[in-house]
Amino acid sequence: MFKILSKISLNSRTSRMTLSAPSIANSAKAGQFVVIRVDSFGERIPLTIADYNKNEGTIDIIYQKVGFTTSKLDMKSKGEYISDVVGPLGKPSQLMGYKNAIIVAGGTGCAIVFPQAKQLHENNCTVSTICGFQRKEFIILEKEICDISDFTRIVTDDGSNGNKGLVTDALLSRLEDKTQQYDLVITVGPLPMMKAVCAITKNFSIKTIVSMNPIMIDGTGMCGGCRVSVNGKTKFACVDGPDFDGHKINFDEIILKDKNYSYLYPNKREKNCKLLRGCSE
Amino acid sequence: MPENKRINLSKTDTPMPVADPKDRINTFDEVEIGYTDALAKQEALRCLDCKHKPCVSGCPVGIDIPSFIKCIVNDDIDKANDILSKSSALPAVCGRVCPQEKQCQAKCVRGKNGDPVAIGKLERYAADNCTDKKIQIPKNNGCKIAVIGSGPSGITCARELAIMGYKVTIYEALHSPGGVMTYGIPEFRLPRDILDKEIHNLSELGVSIQTNVVIGKTFSIDELMSKMEYKAVYISTGAGTPKFMEIPGETLPGVYSANEFLTRINLMHAYSSKYDTPIMQPKRTVVIGGGNVAMDAARCAVRLNSDVTVVYRRSEEDMPARKEEILHAKEEGVKFQFLSQPIRIHDKNGKISCVECNKMKYTTSTASSVKKLSKAGDETFFIETDCVIIAIGSCVNSIIKENSTGVDFDASGKIIANAETMQTSKPGVYAGGDAVTGSATVILAMEAGKKAAMNIHKDLMEKGEVFV
């Protein structure tokens, strides 16, 4: 059992939890994730370790209420327990030796990319961060990101924060400024966004890391549910990733699988879920 | 001799009562119901109690088979179970899932003229029907051992060491112990309460089972041996990584590894509305493979109301699955397509439509006893389906390999361990079961666990870490 030490609402659909998990905190590195099971009837879902504190023995998770299990997780309050947390899983991000990086994140992807951005900053790499959200009210981690970034641009789909636009446009204008030489792009967010970002950076021949977060069960290479094609070879996001070379990954396959989630898992639970109906989109 | 008169001379063995296929396909309850006292005795009386006990040599853990069977004849089921427990940590499990027809029963003298004695069914009977005994808690010798993985090999090793007085901790990556017996073997073949009882017995012996710990990730083997002060480590992490065919269409939604499909159902109870686990409800399912895992997946899919076809590249007689499992699958309506090799999974708008296969034939090869296969003509054929489950085997998980120093692995990723001592290249670290052999059986994994326990004890005594 893993105790919830704090729970903060980041916006109407996204929350941040601090969990007591000393062994995981002690081994965690940027880019790794945990698999959680809310209670003994729960399914297992992967969540990125958004932050960790070895001294306090804690890890942070940030989740958006998108489905049944994240909504069930959100029913838990400070002082309560989560039945299972296992990790840290996946390979840590390789972030040494870069000088000038751009982070491109969309929505909850900001939570996934934050530890990597922070690690780059600590490695004395210049960090430019471009984040996109649907609306102003969904912006998360703004202060944290600004603190570790040398340049930050936050755009919204509807312009409600005063910066209407797409992350891809912001990225493009950054890359076209020839006074800067970038050696790394990390992108995390909705699949079509990551695909578009990788198409752009390929033209500029800049190494691009994507962090994949597909459906998985165990997170240890046992189910194969998280398989992705990288350079035509089958890889498991849980043990070979979650970071992959964005120019080698087959996004179309993953997008197709993602689209068919409801066909694969036609359980009535999502439709009947009262928790979800309360969740605004 | 009055005793001889009592021998049951029937050439056929006593059939096990089974649930009606019409009923059982609607539940995950156990298919084989088990011998009654009378049936068990009837079958036990077929044993000739041979002096040279050929059956024992066929048992990987060397159970004294004629003796336990004699106890059943004498109505002393508790003693029968004691004899079983002396050699096996999991008699109720082995009675159900061991390939007895290739082991003990293959050596049975009765099998030379008729059916061999149904040793497995009798083992199960004794284990299921004995009275629960209070387990004597052994005196702790103060020496800590870590076991990685709570499958049959890890359980056996932990039990043997605990009985000798060691303080054993098993680390399990999943949220529930049991390894393949929990996530792989379905409940209609191995009911969960049978396994829970075995695991409970382990706890009674003082073994601690820590779930949600991935060695190599949460802790390293070096941490276990230094900071955490374990005097020896036994790696029994199994062969849990599914193989794929690398054919076009394999990444389509609706293509499962047997591991994922079975784990959703067995470990995470996707078939029960009480649990949150989602699972696809396909009208038609194609299972690729011919082993026990393929049979388990096919029979699980039947229970999700799917119309199931097993596609196997060889013929029925070459199927590695147990005859009994194939029979049960057939009774439950599973169809078989033999000598067929899938080459592509087709889709319509991203949803699986059919599996395209080559027809295969055997090419007689005089030089080799292995029957070689080749394509029988250029024509292919199609099997319409909504879901594909790939059950073509599994290989050893790479987490330990990628996160440990000093332990040697072979080219295919299996741990290299001495076949007799289970010692790896790293001092104090032993390994056994599927992680060393590649996927095999429950009983062989148990044999390795037992050998490792004996050698860990021997080595620690020699080093002066423990005293008897």
Whether residue A265 and residue B280 make contact (CB cut-off 8 A), yes or no, is yes
Are residues A208 and A171 located together in one domain of the fold?
Answer: yes
Of A42, A84, A261, the CB nearest to B212: A84
Closest by Cβ to B173, choosing from A27, A43, A218? A218
Q: Are residues A85 and A106 in the same domain?
A: no
pLDDT for A281: 36
Domain endpoint, select from B347, B365, B390: B390
B205 CB within 8 Å of a chain A CB:
no
Exposure of B225 in the CB half-sphere (CA atoms within 13 A): 18
Tell me how many domains chain B contains: 3
Share of chain A above pLDDT 70, in %: 93
Instruction: Please indicate if any CB of chain A lies within 8 Å of the CB of B252.
Output: yes
Q: Is B395 on the interface with A (CB under 8 A)?
A: no
Q: Is B350–A27 a contact, with Cβ atoms under 8 angstroms apart?
A: no
pLDDT tens for B246-261 read: 999 998 889 999 999 9
Q: What is the pLDDT of residues B270-329, one digit of tens each?
A: 888 888 888 888 999 999 999 999 999 999 999 999 999 999 999 999 999 999 999 999
Please indicate, yes or no, whether residues B189 and B329 belong to a single structural domain of this protein.
no
The CATH number that applies at residue B385 is 3.50.50.60
**A116 and A79 in one domain?**
no
pLDDT given at position A72: 92
Report the gap between the CA of B350 and the closest CA in chain A (Å): 6
Does one domain contain both A191 and A149? yes
Considering the domain architecture, whether residues A220 and A126 belong to the same structural domain is answered as yes
Q: Does B404 touch chain A (CB under 8 A)?
A: no
Same domain, B15 and B98: yes
For residue B136, being part of any structural domain is answered with no
Backbone phi, psi, residue B59, to 5°: -95, 120
Residue finishing a domain among A70, A89, A108: A89
Q: Number of structural domains, chain A?
A: 2
Q: Which CATH number characterizes residue A195's domain?
A: 3.40.50.80
Question: Based on the domain organization, do A73 and A157 belong to the same domain?
Answer: no
- Considering only CB atoms, A222 lies closest to which of B213, B275, B397, namely B397
Judge if B120 and B7 occupy the same domain.
yes
Which of B174, B255, B345, B396 to mutate against chain A (most A CBs within 10 Å)? B174
In terms of domains, do B352 and B263 share one?
A: yes
A205-236: per-residue pLDDT in tens?
999 999 998 888 999 999 998 999 999 889 99
**Per-residue confidence (pLDDT) for residue A215, from 0 to 100:** 84
Assess whether B372 and B344 both reside in one domain.
Answer: yes
Contacts of A88 in chain B (CB under 8 A): 217-218
Taking one residue from A and the other from B, the number of pairs with CB-CB distance under 8 angstroms is 126
Query: pLDDT digits over B60-87, tens only?
Result: 889 999 999 999 999 999 999 999 988 8
Residue B1 has pLDDT above 70, yes or no: no
Within a domain: A274? no
Q: What is the mean pLDDT of residues B402-429?
A: 95
User: Distance (Å) from the C-alpha of residue A170 to the closest C-alpha of chain B?
Assistant: 33
Same domain, B12 and B117: yes
For B80-112, what is each residue's pLDDT tens digit?
Answer: 999 998 888 899 999 999 999 999 999 999 999
**Do B191 and B255 fall into the same domain?**
no
Quick one: B379 and B259 in the same domain? yes
Structural domain contains residue B410: yes
B279 and B293 in a single domain? The answer is yes
Q: Of B343, B366, B390, which closes a domain?
A: B390
In SS3 terms, chain A reads as CEEEEEEEEEECCEEEEEEECHHHHHHCCCCCEEEEECCCCCCCEEEEEEEEECCCCEEEEEEECCCHHHHHHHCCCCCCEECEEEEEECCCCCCCCCCEEEEEEECCHHHHHHHHHHHHHHCCCEEEEEEEECCHHHCCCHHHHHHHCCEEEEEECCCCCCCECCHHHHHHHHHHCCCCCCCEEEEECCHHHHHHHHHHHHHCCCCEEEECCCCCCCCCCCCCCCEEEECCEEEECCCCCCEEECCCECHHHHHHHHHCHHHHCCCCHHHHCHHHHCCCC
Residue B226: inside a domain: yes
Please indicate whether, in this complex, the C-beta atoms of A224 and B242 are within 8 angstroms of each other.
yes
B211 touches chain A (CB under 8 A): yes
The whole domain housing B106 covers: 2-129
For residue B461, what pLDDT is reported? Answer: 93
The answer to whether position A174 is within a domain reads yes
Residues A159, A80: one domain? no
Q: Does B315 reside within a domain?
A: yes
Q: Average pLDDT, stretch B265-274? A: 89
User: B82 and B208: one domain?
Assistant: no
Query: Is A269 in the B-facing interface, judged by CB distances under 8 Å?
Result: yes
A127 shares its domain with A201: yes
**What residue numbers bound the domain in which A137 lies?**
100-259
Domain containing residue A36: CATH number = 2.40.30.10
Find residues 31-90 of chain A whose CB sits inside 8 Å of chain B: 37, 41-44, 68-69, 72, 83-89
